[in-house]
Structure 1
Amino acid sequence: MDLGIAGRIALVTGADSGIGWHCAQQLLADGVTVVMTDRDPGKLTAAAAELHAPEGRLHAFPADITDPASLAVLHESVAAAVGSIDILVQCAGVTGAQGLFHEIDDDGWTSTIETDLLGPVRLVREFLPDLRTGGWGRIVFLASEDALQPYDDELPYCAAKAGILALSKGLSRSYASEGVLVNAVSPAFIATPMTDAMMRKRADENGTTVDEAVASFLDEERPYMELHRRGTPAEVASVVVFLCSERASFVNGSNYPRRLRLSSHYLTPLALNRKK
């Protein structure tokens, strides 16, 4: 399928692994010139080398999305290398502070929101002028199922991702008339370095293998996932790239989650007690 984006220029954050790396790979395959960015220069360089992109079609510049000065330098580097971007894919993020609400202090909340909400805000603020100049643009945010179905042991992350959905929806209303379409994708349990680390920790705590930790997590924490497996980064990237494409020219302000099947655990007391 021709996605109609050959020759476009995309910036992908969080691109040294996981979903971000696969977004870069699939955008390159569709003829897009890609700029990858992430915090660790060494990992970013290695990740870019794995893509084996045609000369001039792939660039990699390290940056920290939480730091406005770093983003300004990134913008200068992007402009010098490829000009103005047409597509912005925001994948960078962290799990952040974990534990029950009473166990997480202000620093835990602040550090998580700084990366997972304010980082994307600063990123868009820096690059929005590029997207507004050409009469055509795409912004896609990586949110999370946690934005819609929060879990009690990672509330800072859940709250930040809920904020991303509000940010995405608000931006979609502000700039659609200028040709800039804004959407979000909310993956569930995906096999990324972030969830790999979570599963290794779970395996250590339970004295099991990582595979057993994944299986028990699915049984105990995600019983409503009908496929009963982790998704792959490539599966998520395919949705992201579609939203970046001309094929999604009438999609704006949407959020693409995995399908939820609510259990009674998430029904309100009012709903449970309502008379039939």
Structure 2
Amino acid sequence: MDLRISGKKALITGADSGIGWSTARVLLAEGVTVVITDLDQRRLDDAAARLGADEGMLFAFAGDVTDTASLASLHSRVAEAVGPIDILVQSAGVTGAQGLFHEIDDAGWVDTLTVDLLGPVRLVKEFLPDLREGGWGRLVFLASEDAVQPYDDELPYCAAKAGVLSLAKGLSRSYAREGLLVNAVSPAFIHTPMTDAMMSKRADQTGTSFDEAIESFLDEERPFMELHRRGEPDEVADVVAFLCSDRASFVNGSNYRVDSGSVATI
């Protein structure tokens, strides 16, 4: 399907791997000029090489969504390379502090909320003028099933992602009449480096293989994922790309679940 966004310019955070990287691949195929960003320039350069885009269509600049000075520097580099962006995809995030509530200290809460909630806030504050400039813009947040179905062993992450959904809804009310549409996508248990690390840790703790850890996690922790497998980043990226497109011209303030049925409610 032609998403009718050829010639648009996008910035994608958390894009050296996983959902962010796959979203960059889809948008590049649609003729979008893409800037990918993440913390480590070397990993970004490798990610850009794997995307194999035509010259002038892809740029890779390191940046930290938690640091306002870093974001300002990133903005300057993006502006010099492509000018004002039309599309912003906020995919950067961490699992953060894990354990039962009484086991997580204040620093664990602060660190997780700084990356997963204040990071998106600071990113949008920096790039919002771009998105409001041309009368057409798209802002997509990567949230999580955890935002509406919290798990007791990762409450800081759950709380942060619930905040992201509220942020997205609020922004969607503020700027839609200017042409900026804001939405969120909530994946569940996607095949990314983040869940690889989770399953490696689970395998070590349970004395099982990596594949057995995935199976037991699905059986015990995610029983409503009816397809009984991890999702693939491309399966999320396709939904993100749709929300970035002109095909989603009447979609605003929505949360699209890409979760195999994991959220056990309507």
Same fold (TM over 0.5): yes
Q: CA 1:261 to 1:63, structure 2 compared with 1: closer, same or farther past 3 Å?
A: closer
**TM-fit CA distance, 1:195:** 0.3
1:177-216, Cα deviation, whole Å (9 max, x unpaired): 1000000000011010000000000001111110000000
Report the number of matched residues. 263
What is the identity, as a one-letter code, of the residue corresponding to 1:32?
Answer: V
Distance in 2 between the 1:42 and 1:93 partners? 19
What corresponds to 1:60 in structure 2? 60
Displacement after TM superposition at 1:262 (Å): 2.7
2:85 and 2:253 map into 1 onto residues whose CA distance is: 20
Q: Is the 8 A contact 2:87 2:139 kept in 1?
A: yes
Q: For residues 3-42 of structure 1, what are the structure 2 equivalents within 5 Å?
A: 3-42=3-42
| Equivalent residue, structure 1, for 2:171 | 171
Residue number in structure 1 paired with 2:231: 231
Aligned positions of 1:64-75 closer than 5 A: 64-75=64-75
The alpha carbon displacement at 1:98 in A equals 0.3
Query: What is the match of residue 49 of structure 2?
Result: 49
Q: Which residue matches 1:256?
A: 256
Gaps of 5+ in 1: 264-276
Q: Distance in 2 between matches of 1:42 and 1:119?
A: 22
Q: What's the offset of the Cα at 1:260? A: 4.6
Q: Which residue of 1 aligns with 2:148?
A: 148
Q: What pairs up with 1:169-248 in 2 under 5 angstroms?
A: 169-248=169-248
**Cα pair 2:199 2:210 within 8 Å, conserved:** yes
Specify the code of the residue in structure 1 equivalent to 2:171.
L
**CA distance in 2 between partners of 1:38 and 1:260 (Å):** 28
1:269 aligned residue: none
User: Secondary structure of the residue that 1:50 maps to in structure 2?
Assistant: helix
TM-score if structure 2 supplies the norm length? 0.98
Q: Deviations over 1:4-31 (max 9, x none)?
A: 0000000000000000000000000000
Residue identity over aligned pairs, in percent, reads: 74
> Which structure has the larger Rg?
1
| Structure 1 residue 171 displacement after superposition | 0.1
In structure 2, how many angstroms separate the alpha carbons of the residues matched to 1:149 and 1:261? 6
2:149–2:263 contact (8 Å) kept in structure 1: no
Unmatched tracts of structure 2, length 5 or more: none
Is the CA contact 2:188–2:262 (under 8 Å) kept in the aligned structure 1?
no
